[in-house]
Structure 1
Amino acid sequence: MRTLLRTPMSERPASERAPHLAKSESVARNVPRIFDLTLRIGELLLASGEAAEDVEAAMLGVTHAYGLDRCEPQVTFTLISISYQPSLVEAPVTSARVVRRRTSDYTRLAAVYRLVADITGGNVTVNDAYRRLAAIRRNRHPYPAWVLSLTAGLLAGAATFLVGGRVDAKAWLVFVNAVVAAIIGDRLASLVAGRGLPEFYQFVLAAMPAATFGIILSLNSSGLRGSVVVTGGLFALLPGRALVAAVQDGLTGFYITAAARLLEVVYLVAGIVIGVMLILYAGVSFDAQLRPSESLVGNYNPPVQLVAAMLLTLFFAMLLQASRRTLALVTLNGGIGWTVYGVLVYNGGVSPIVATGIAAGVVGLFGQLMARYRYASALPYVTAALGPLMPGSALYLGMLAFAQGQPSPGLVSISKAAALAMALAVGVNLGGEVARLFMKVPGPSGGIEVAGRLVPYLTGPRRAAKRTRGF
């Protein structure tokens, strides 16, 4: 529906209606109910982290399928609305809905996408769609709370092997500390969330245990790598889902939503920074032997790090409540992304920022292809696969430099973390767009009709926003 969404209303073709959805007075009287259904579907998609353009396309597809041709959906960060004009001489009808809660349940997201696909295919009536949507909202999460807490710990533990690159007795002790610290942080965040505390303070508390365990390991001279524990804890907290959605909204022209989402990312990262910095300042005052080089992926051990990257992707997907049937493909995609990154950095000598962008592009490309193969959203196949590429080490190095009174190296590391994050988001968006270039648009034989003949998608006109020479 993106092509239809980018087409001006006056040029949009009328929908081909199924027999039971023929436009009539009953359809006209059903406009409020169709609007309510469309807004509820849009709310679930936006709350799950879907990009604004995809939410608008889904909403337009629902209204188009039910015979409302002159519709204009609009999505911002917390507000979705839709307007319908029955004819040129009638007043438009507008309805809106506020998105107050955001969830990370990709199983529910996939179910909503299947519902939208069935609606646009003309196979579901309005009443049936309401019943299915109610069933989707009632469905429980695929993983209980205790599994998610354990998964958060294992994610941080897998990140220690990804960063450390070694498997020995000390590495396993670091792994155990990272697991325990992440579980404690997750439970603290859940506890204050139940009290209604904002997400900013949840991230402050969730970041403290990993930093505390890292300081404790660094107080003795046994050679334990406390910095690796801190870095592993950061991998479990970095808001990669919000970052990818923010950049995607900006690249597709939804600047207000992109700015709001980027501000959300800034606040969440600031919470992580404050939580870690409070502990690091205390640790530096007690002469904790924090060695920044430990948190860099300096020990190149491809087998260990590839397995760690795939496990990190698997646990990240479970934290996002991805369906069990998607876990294998998501894990494979994460392994592919990390392999591309490792080959470019360690064998090709490419800059880590450039390598991150290319690896993220490959992840976005394969994620989009997997999503089209399953007729689902690309988010479950992409977001978790980006986990191993998150800039956890650079962010930690910047915070440690500030805590040790070295502002110049700290600013350099923080800037590098921001560049890595931007390369990550732009790369995955570009990979998705490259995949769409080679996909066929809906229609007979996957082509579109131009001048009386059928042409492939690549040679046909693709409407998008046009801007020339800055005007």
Structure 2
Amino acid sequence: MTEAEDRKPQSDEARSAFRPPGGVTTSAPTTHAESESSVTSEFEIPAGLAARRPVVSEAETTSEFALPEGYEAPPAPAAETEGSAFTAPSTYNAWTPAAFTPASGFPVVSLTKDVPWQDRMRAMLRMPVAERPAPETPQRQDDETGPAVPRVLDLTLRIGELLLAGGEGAEDVEAAMFAVCRSYGLDRCEPNVTFTLLSISHQPSLVEDPVTASRTVRRRGTDYTRLAAVFHLVDDLSDPETSLSMEEAYRRLAEIRRNRHPYPGWVLTTASGLLAGAASLLVGGDVVVFFAAMVGAMLGDRLAWLCAGRGLPEFYQFAVAAMPPAAIGIALTLTHVEVAASAVITGGLFALLPGRALVAGVQDGLTGFYITASARLLEVMYFFVSIVAGVLLVLYFGVQLGAELNPDAALGTGDQPVVQIFASMLLSLAFAVLLQQERHTVWAVTVNGGIAWCVFGAMHYAGNISPVASTAAAAGLVGLFGQLMSRYRFVSALPYTTAAIGPLLPGSATYFGLLAIAQSEVDKGLVSLSTAVALAMAIAIGVNLGGEISRLFLRMPGGANAAGRRAAKRTRGF
């Protein structure tokens, strides 16, 4: 605006009717421009005049819920600040998981590094994904971004396949797979193990699609040397102080696959014969019975290998392998040789009973893997039926030919304790060789088998305790020793337990049950077979219970206490 326009007098419309006249000052003097801009309405209340609050009559009340005069409403709570639904709670710490302990008092999870990696991985697998501690910064990265997720999942599945094919329990296979994933920084992983199928799923975040891979286990082979090598690989991967790249892990896994078995075929056949001969001594046989059972078992082993080369299923392989020892026992009886033919047949059965699969099946059932346990126990049942069919067929023809076999004969009366202790140790030694164990573990499991038989003999023969309870106690000691050795060496417990339970297998009860059925005494045969099943279950449960006791009460190197191991082993409750 120009100066002329500024000096131009204002019109009456631009002035407010309530503007104070000239000469009257207000409490807050303002400039001319501010006063003009502040006047907005003709109905402005003059300064100093307070408007009275209109009185509202009852008729004008619009709501019966209106607050009465003199009553002050409580102040409204402060509104919560709006945040993201994916923001971690203030009580959550990625390194120390929140302890959601109910009123009933479940133990708080303790995941110290002093606890073996098997227990730490089992504990985290039982925790919800949101409560698992974040993995440490991986030290095995190939570059700044780390290895690709599909490669990590593929390595995990290959390691799990070797463990499951080697006879490892489903719980330990899942723990090993989870340890491999976490070693490469994948924390949101869910492994799943069944009898023939392995799968693992990784979800990077809650808003990203998961990546899932699976692998089918088609071939199974007993090689505890390979099993121990895989455990050493997983232990190195789970150790934060060991730098192991993806290429190095694949190279070591390929070496484990290519490694030949530690014992040649003729050694395995000889071990099968020694196992049967030692079992015949264990149940009261002499030197002639020892060599007869040894020859029968070696013939059965070679026939089974021949059937396997022709592609026959394992059901027929076990049936064929059970026939030669039974046939030799019948032949000795028909030729009137003064030997215990029953001991020959019983020794042959010891070499065929699937103790390894039985222990693994019961262990899976006790740890909650019911589908895998059902499949393993069904496999054991098929093997047992095939052995029964092979022996029963030979016994039936022997009875028809006039062989005099006494189903009430007493085997293994415990009157030769020194011979039986020697036989039990020889049996465990031969069993360890058949399982392709490492040489430095063979002697430990041999001593373990001898101790187990001493416990059984002291309870059953000297203490007149039932054979089922005596077997369970001896098997529990075997499981305790095996778990101790596995935790100190950070390897699987199977090489220290499976061969040691060999002297406790129910070979004589199985034989007498089959003999009674072959002689048309079905009731007596079923009772004997039921005893054999009870003894087998006592062995499996005792081995598992011994392992659980070692996790509960025994102190470990590094200061890990028992309470931490209890929480690490079992954090799930109902």
- Answer yes or no: same fold by TM over 0.5: yes
Shift of 1:460: 5.4
Q: 1:4 aligns with which of 124, 128, 150?
A: 124
What is the match of residue 129 of structure 1?
Answer: 249
Deviations 1:166-219 (CA, angstroms, capped at 9, x unpaired): 5xxxx2111111111101000000001011110000000000001000101111
TM-score (norm 1): 0.93
Cα pair distance change 1:466/1:383, threshold 3 Å: same
Answer yes or no: is the 8 Å Cα contact 1:156–1:232 preserved in 2: yes
Is 1:118–2:236 an aligned residue pair?
yes
Shift of 1:464: 3.7
Is 1:208–2:323 an aligned residue pair?
yes
Q: 1:376 aligns with which of 491, 504, 520?
A: 491
Cα pair distance change 1:163/1:278, threshold 3 Å: same
Equivalent position SS for 2:192: strand
Equivalent position SS for 1:95: strand
| One-letter identity of the residue aligned with 1:12 | R
CA distance in 2 between counterparts of 1:385 and 1:445 reads 30
CA distance in 2 between counterparts of 1:311 and 1:423 reads 23
Shift of 1:222: 3.4
Q: 1:60 aligns with which of 171, 178, 183?
A: 178
In our comparison, the structure showing a higher alpha carbon Rg is 2
Shift of 1:34: 0.7
Shift of 1:290: 1.2
Equivalent position SS for 2:283: helix
Equivalent position SS for 1:446: coil
| One-letter identity of the residue aligned with 1:77 | F
CA distance in 2 between counterparts of 1:206 and 1:7 reads 46
CA distance in 2 between counterparts of 1:224 and 1:413 reads 23
Shift of 1:465: 3.6
Shift of 1:439: 4.9
Shift of 1:17: 2.4
What is the match of residue 187 of structure 2?
Answer: 69
Cα pair distance change 1:83/1:23, threshold 3 Å: farther
Cα pair distance change 1:372/1:391, threshold 3 Å: same
What is the match of residue 137 of structure 2?
Answer: 17
What is the match of residue 451 of structure 1?
Answer: none
Deviations 1:115-151 (CA, angstroms, capped at 9, x unpaired): 0000001321111000000000000000000110011
CA distance in 1 between counterparts of 2:445 and 2:529 reads 29
Shift of 1:374: 2.0
CA distance in 2 between counterparts of 1:290 and 1:57 reads 50
Deviations 1:380-408 (CA, angstroms, capped at 9, x unpaired): 00000000000000111110000000011
Deviations 1:402-439 (CA, angstroms, capped at 9, x unpaired): 00000110010010000000111001000001011135
Deviations 1:62-100 (CA, angstroms, capped at 9, x unpaired): 001110000000000000000000000001100000000
Answer yes or no: is the 8 Å Cα contact 2:195–2:376 preserved in 1: yes
What is the match of residue 573 of structure 2?
Answer: 466
What is the match of residue 230 of structure 1?
Answer: 345
| One-letter identity of the residue aligned with 2:297 | A
Is 1:457–2:564 an aligned residue pair?
yes
Answer yes or no: is the 8 Å Cα contact 1:330–1:384 preserved in 2: yes
Cα pair distance change 1:291/1:431, threshold 3 Å: same
What is the match of residue 438 of structure 1?
Answer: 553
Is 1:109–2:227 an aligned residue pair?
yes
CA distance in 1 between counterparts of 2:410 and 2:386 reads 21
Give ranges in structure 2 of 5+ residues lacking alignment: 1-120
What is the match of residue 403 of structure 2?
Answer: 288
Q: What is the aligned-residue identity percentage? A: 60
Equivalent position SS for 2:222: coil
CA distance in 1 between counterparts of 2:356 and 2:139 reads 41
Shift of 1:18: 4.1
Shift of 1:463: 3.6
Shift of 1:44: 0.3
What is the match of residue 275 of structure 2?
Answer: 155
Answer yes or no: is the 8 Å Cα contact 1:204–1:271 preserved in 2: yes
What is the match of residue 410 of structure 1?
Answer: 525
What is the match of residue 536 of structure 2?
Answer: 421
| One-letter identity of the residue aligned with 1:205 | V
Deviations 1:328-351 (CA, angstroms, capped at 9, x unpaired): 111011111111100000111110
Matches within 5 A, 1:252-331: 252-294=367-409, 296-331=411-446
What is the match of residue 94 of structure 1?
Answer: 212
| One-letter identity of the residue aligned with 1:466 | G
CA distance in 1 between counterparts of 2:386 and 2:433 reads 23
Deviations 1:211-245 (CA, angstroms, capped at 9, x unpaired): 00010111133321111110000000000000000
Q: 2:266 aligns with which of 140, 146, 170?
A: 146
| One-letter identity of the residue aligned with 1:457 | G
CA distance in 2 between counterparts of 1:356 and 1:209 reads 29
More helix by share: 1
Matches within 5 A, 1:194-205: 194-205=309-320
Number of residue pairs aligned between Structure 1 and Structure 2: 452
CA distance in 1 between counterparts of 2:193 and 2:402 reads 51
CA distance in 2 between counterparts of 1:388 and 1:153 reads 15
Report the more deviating stretch, 289-298 or 11-20: 289-298
| One-letter identity of the residue aligned with 2:573 | K
CA distance in 1 between counterparts of 2:288 and 2:175 reads 49
Answer yes or no: is the 8 Å Cα contact 2:282–2:419 preserved in 1: yes
Cα pair distance change 1:461/1:390, threshold 3 Å: closer
Answer yes or no: is the 8 Å Cα contact 2:413–2:461 preserved in 1: no
Equivalent position SS for 1:457: helix
Is 1:244–2:359 an aligned residue pair?
yes
Cα pair distance change 1:440/1:120, threshold 3 Å: farther
| One-letter identity of the residue aligned with 1:200 | F
Answer yes or no: is the 8 Å Cα contact 1:178–1:229 preserved in 2: yes
Answer yes or no: is the 8 Å Cα contact 2:425–2:446 preserved in 1: yes
Is 1:172–2:287 an aligned residue pair?
yes
Is 1:49–2:195 an aligned residue pair?
no
Shift of 1:287: 1.2
